[in-house]
Amino acid sequence: MRRVADLIKGKPVEEALNILNFTPKIAAHHLAKTVKAAAANAISNVGTAKLKAEDLSISKVMVDGGPIAPRVRFQSMGRAHRIRKRFCHLTVEVEGEPEPETAKSKGASRKKAQTTKPDSTEKKARAGAKKTAAKAKKDKAEAVEEKTKPAGKKAEAKEADARLIKKAASKKAPAEEKPAETDSGTNEEKKQDE
């Protein structure tokens, strides 16, 4: 990691990233990710209007020792050799001078600030959000009602069917019992006689 870090010390960020992209070491990939993150942090802290990525250069790269993971490589005759897998802490510092604001840009930003009126737009956005939230609640309630209605209708239909079946069964049962009680013959004999 230190060998690769020495390649990019004091270089502009773009040139350093080009060097790292064409360096055939695994450390170059990790160092490139760290350089990109450092550049993005610097730009976000100052602002994109004041600082450009082209203005940044690498001021300091520090590679400090980190934890060591113990590993074992087994050898012949029951022996084992210890491998010390080393890690490192990588620190990249980026510097660049922000562009000073000119009088024209200050005036333009003031005009933009006056015309936008953030209070009215925020109120509109809040009102729109409330309306959409209320509409979503209403839609959800309607969906729940629709789901429960068919289930209710199905239950009512099942109950009505059960009632009809009970009525039909109660009507059939006395009709079958009466001929059996009054007549000593079976139903089949009655049908044959008729």
3-state SS, the chain, equals CHHHHHHHCCCEHHHHHHHHHCCCCHHHHHHHHHHHHHHHHHHHHHCCCCCCHHHCEEEEEEEEEEEEEEEEEECHHHCEEEEEEEEEEEEEEEECCCCCCCHHHHHHHHHHHHHHCHHHHHHHHHHHHHHHHHHHHHHHHHHHHHHHHHHHHHHHHHHHHHHHHHHHHHHHHHHHHHHHHHCCCCHHHHHHHC
Give the tens place of pLDDT for each residue, 30-44: 999 999 999 999 988
Looking at residue 168, its pLDDT comes to: 73
Looking at residue 62, its pLDDT comes to: 93
Give the tens place of pLDDT for each residue, 131-169: 666 677 777 777 666 666 555 566 677 777 777 777 777
Angle at 110 between CA 107 and CA 111, to 5 degrees: 90
Domain boundaries, the chain: 2-71+81-98, 117-162
Looking at residue 113, its pLDDT comes to: 45
Closest CA to 31 of 94, 79, 123: 94
| Distance from C-alpha of 49 to C-alpha of 105, rounded to nearest angstrom | 10
Name the CATH superfamily housing domain 2-71+81-98: Ribosomal protein L22/L17 (3.90.470.10)
Q: What is the pTM of this model?
A: 0.48
